[in-house]
Chains A and B, each alone.
Chain A
Amino acid sequence: EAGVVQSPRYKIIEKKQPVAFWCNPISGHNTLYWYLQNLGQGPELLIRYENEEAVDDSQLPKDRFSAERLKGVDSTLKIQPAELGDSAVYLCASSLGDGREAFFGQGTRLTVV
């Protein structure tokens, strides 16, 4: 069974430019998460989807970040415009929900210069 697939693995952009990340979750997983991981820290939730509905986006900086999950499968996370402080690893995960384990992709490492 294929795992969670994220692309790109690495992205370097100049500040004020837009950037987008893509995630394909495990088939059948209705719950999808985007996490932010800063260097040396644990993942912090940005947004959680149940099917196509964003059920928790309280930690998403909505002035510059946006996300969508069309048809309840793939998801994209966008930053516009990017700031230097956005440099981090962006992790996507999926789960069957209800307290069960989440499976993570390899992440996208973003560097804003």
Chain B
Amino acid sequence: GNSVTQMEGPVTLSEEAFLTINCTYTATGYPSLFWYVQYPGEGLQLLLKATKADDKGSNKGFEATYRKETTSFHLEKGSVQVSDSAVYFCALSIYYGQNFVFGPGTRLSVLP
């Protein structure tokens, strides 16, 4: 079956620190990969995506590269801000109408 594993949280960083949140996946087909972010009291918002191997998704200073050989899609940001404090979800979706499968989420807290 399809599944997503991501690093356990919570992750606590100081402002301007480097962020990495690991994500690996198992898929029966060729998935598209996504990172979603959930701010307190809000729904999930798409942060970035990649649809094929070696694609790099980027948005708001966050980046993730689709690595087919390691089945990974790690999220990185060079300098985090307090406003980045949220829960981050890695997800996959298979073409031909398959469902989105989400990881358990990683809570990030950025301290001033």
CB of A111 closer than 8 Å to a CB of B: no
User: Which one, A6, A99, A104, contacts B93 given CB within 8 A?
Assistant: A99
User: Which one, A40, A50, A55, A104, contacts B44 given CB within 8 A?
Assistant: A104
The residues of B that contact A65 with a CB separation of less than 8 Å are none
A101 CB to closest chain B CB (Å) equals 5
Identity of the chain A residue whose Cβ is nearest the Cβ of B92 in the assembled complex = A99
The residues of B that contact A99 with a CB separation of less than 8 Å are 31-32, 51, 93-96, 98
Q: Give the size of the chain B interface in residues (CB under 8 angstroms).
A: 26
Q: A99-B31, A99-B51, A101-B49 are in contact. Are A43 and B95 (CB under 8 A)?
A: no
Asked whether, in the complex, the Cβ of A98 is within 8 Å of the Cβ of B97, the reply is yes
Complex CA gap A101/B103 in Å reads 15
CB of B45 closer than 8 Å to a CB of A: yes
Binding site for A on B (CB under 8 A): 4, 31-32, 34, 36, 42-46, 49, 51, 89, 91, 93-100, 102-105
Binding site for B on A (CB under 8 A): 4, 6, 31, 33, 40-45, 48, 50, 55-56, 91, 93, 97-107
